[in-house]
Amino acid sequence: MNFILKAWRQKNGNDKGMFVAYSAHDISPDASFLEMLDVLNDELVKKGEEPIAFDHDCREGICGSCGLMINGRAHGPQRGIATCELRMRSFKDGSSIVVEPWRAAAFPVIKDLVVDRSSFDRIMEAGGFISVKTGGSPDANAIPIPKSISEEAMDAAACIGCGACVAACKNSSAMLFVGAKVSHLALLPQGRSERTERVEHMIAQMDEEGFGGCSNTYACEAECPKEISVVHIARLNREYLRAKLV
């Protein structure tokens, strides 16, 4: 398969940046999008040109580091997968593909397709943890939890922090990310003792980082590779209201 790749090139955060067109030849339809970028970068290096910088790690849809905006869609045209799981057979042979980094003030560009998502780390540091003594694994497993609650908590905990929700939102909102992190801890007894401080601190940090507000377009849910539901945003709002009332 052959493609015309229009990739965003930006030397650093202070550079203006621009799209540059490249030809990708003889790409296997079973190759992942990142493997296609590897092939293209090998050709660029052989020509003495600077390879395209992009973020990646596990390449198994687990770590969330590979987020790219592809043809205007976070992680590309397929639902429920990260960029590293996207196969080139999802595109028509000979088609033009536009790839760019996440666009959000809270995710400044480092170089080319790589953005700084440390704002997510600071939100987690603000309260996305349990500091109370809960005992060992046997102790935790001895606490009876309804199956429906445990499954909902696990669904929220599936968030990989890729930032697709932010990139897809017209307001660059991080509400789905924060909602998932707050929700899965608030649902479980081990996390309830710190629920008030957690939601207040995490929302305060989210606002400080410059993320926008939620306007209920559901774009975050549509583009989330783990298909996390917006019901967790609703729970985040309830937890925040509860904290203020308490």
* pTM over 0.85, yes/no: yes
**89 shares a domain with 162:** no
**143 shares a domain with 241:** yes
**90 shares a domain with 125:** no
Percent of the chain with pLDDT over 70: 100
Residue where one domain finishes, among candidates 111, 135, 151 = 111
pLDDT at 137 over 80: no
Give residue 79's pLDDT: 94
Which tokens in the block code for residue 81?
């997968």
Pick from 227, 224, 216, 229: which is nearest to 75 by CA?
224
**132 shares a domain with 98:** no
**240 shares a domain with 126:** yes
Q: What is the DSSP letter of 182?
A: H
Cα(72)–Cα(76) distance, integer angstroms: 8
Percent of the chain with pLDDT over 90: 91
**123 shares a domain with 239:** yes
Give residue 139's pLDDT: 72
Cα(49)–Cα(62) distance, integer angstroms: 31
Q: Report yes or no: 198 and 181 within 8 Å, Cβ to Cβ.
A: no
Provide the residue range defining the domain that includes 27.
3-111
Average pLDDT over residues 128-135: 84
pLDDT tens per residue, range 142-190 = 888 899 999 999 999 999 999 999 999 999 999 999 999 999 999 998 8
**223 shares a domain with 176:** yes
The contacts of residue 71 (CB under 8 Å, 6+ apart) are 77, 97, 98
Average pLDDT over residues 69-93: 97
Q: How many domains, in total, are found in the chain?
A: 2
Average pLDDT over residues 216-226: 96
Q: Mean pLDDT over all residues of the chain? A: 95
What CATH code is carried by the domain that includes residue 230? Answer: 1.10.1060.10
* Residue-wise burial string across 161-197, b where 16 or more C-beta atoms lie within 10 A, e elsewhere: bbbbbbbbbeebbbbbbbbbbbbbbbbbebbeebbbe
What CATH code is carried by the domain that includes residue 104? Answer: 3.10.20.30
**95 shares a domain with 123:** no
**163 shares a domain with 71:** no
